[in-house]
């Protein structure tokens, strides 16, 4: 559910919604959601001073019911 | 309908644009509620030349975590909703989001605080500093103070930024106060 919610939130604010991918990983220290976006949308998803990324973390954090969730934003070209 | 009932072209354009903003925002939020399996209806309105969107639920407690401490989650969701509108329209949005009447209640509370401060400043003739407030809250206080004919400005740095209420006739202390619209 969290990955779907995050994907929806990000798709709505970018120019290339079809390039948005969210992958969930379970790490020892909690869950990680990795967001991949089109390189041109990277700045938009991060925002000035990281403002947009912070807003995404705040909203997804509020929807999370079991434990903290980390969110990483990367562009689709990065491996 | 008489011809005078027809709004001026630019007024109609603004209304149409704000209605469109409200609809884009409602779609964005409705789908989020759907995914998160939260009950809630979306109310769209236009107030003070801004689109005003509110998430309402019969069970107000169910939306409490979407408001967050000091409205922190509400502000984040408003930010994302404005960006979602901007992505569709290509223009910046000043849309206001509320959840379960949180902002309305906070506005009433702040109006009362501002009115008490105004009374004190009138009685003592000295300026009075309030507790730190966020941008939305400072705006509410500035508006109440201005309507009462007194002067106010914002000082300090976020998140410790606060409003100072000054007696009528005080020169605005800093030009920055004028730029501080939020």
Euclidean distance between CA atoms A60 and B77, whole angstroms: 10
CB of B91 within 8 Å of a chain A CB? The answer is: no
Chain A 23-52, residues with CB within 8 Å of chain B CB atoms: 44, 51-52
Mutate to test the interface with B, among A41, A54, A55, A65 (most CBs of B within 10 A): A55
pLDDT tens digits for chain B (182 residues)?
445 555 565 666 889 999 999 999 999 999 999 999 999 999 999 988 999 999 998 887 888 999 998 899 999 999 999 999 999 999 999 999 999 999 999 999 999 999 999 999 999 999 999 999 988 899 999 999 999 999 999 999 988 999 999 998 776 554 444 444 44
Tell me: the pLDDT tens digits for A23-44?
988 877 778 999 999 999 999 9
> Considering only the top CATH level, what class is B105-166?
alpha beta
Nearest by Cα to A22 from A12, A39, A37: A37
ipTM exceeding 0.85?
yes
- Measured in whole angstroms, the distance separating CA A3 from the mean position of its chain's CA atoms is 8
Asked, colleague to colleague, whether B3-100 and B105-166 share their fold, the answer is no
Q: Which among B28, B66, B86 has the least Cβ separation from residue A62?
A: B66
Cα A3 from Cα B11, distance rounded (Å): 41
Nearest CA in chain A to B65: A62
- Give dist(CA B86, CA B66) in Å, integer: 22
- Class of domain B3-100 (CATH, top level): alpha beta
For residue B76, list chain A residues with Cβ-Cβ distance below 8 A: 54-56, 58-59
CB B58 within 8 A of CB B102: no
Domain definitions of chain B by residue range: 3-100, 105-166
């Amino acid at each position: 559910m969290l990955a779907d919610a995050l994907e929806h939130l990000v798709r709505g604010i970018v120019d290339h919604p079809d390039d948005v991918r969210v992958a969930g990983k379970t790490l020892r220290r909690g869950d990680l959601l990795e967001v991949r976006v089109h390189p041109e949308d990277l700045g938009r998803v991060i925002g000035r001073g990281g403002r947009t990324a912070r807003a995404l973390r705040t909203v997804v954090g509020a929807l999370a019911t079991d434990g903290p969730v980390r969110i990483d934003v990367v562009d689709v070209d990065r491996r | 309908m008489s011809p005078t009932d027809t709004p001026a072209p630019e007024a109609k354009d603004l209304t149409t644009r704000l209605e469109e903003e409200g609809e884009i925002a409602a779609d964005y939020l409705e789908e989020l509620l759907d995914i998160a399996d939260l009950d809630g209806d979306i109310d769209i309105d236009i107030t003070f030349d801004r689109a005003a969107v509110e998430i309402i639920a019969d069970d107000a407690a169910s939306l409490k975590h979407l408001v967050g401490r000091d409205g922190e989650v509400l502000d984040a969701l408003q930010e994302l909703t404005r960006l979602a509108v901007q992505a569709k329209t290509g223009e910046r949005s000043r849309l206001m989001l509320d959840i379960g009447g949180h902002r309305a209640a906070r506005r009433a509370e702040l109006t009362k605080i501002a009115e008490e401060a105004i009374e004190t400043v009138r009685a003592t003739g000295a300026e009075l500093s309030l507790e730190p407030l966020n941008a939305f809250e400072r705006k509410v206080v500035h508006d109440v103070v201005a309507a009462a004919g007194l002067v106010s400005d914002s000082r300090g740095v976020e998140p410790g930024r606060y409003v100072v209420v000054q007696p009528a006739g005080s020169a605005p202390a800093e030009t920055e106060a004028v730029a501080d619209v939020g």
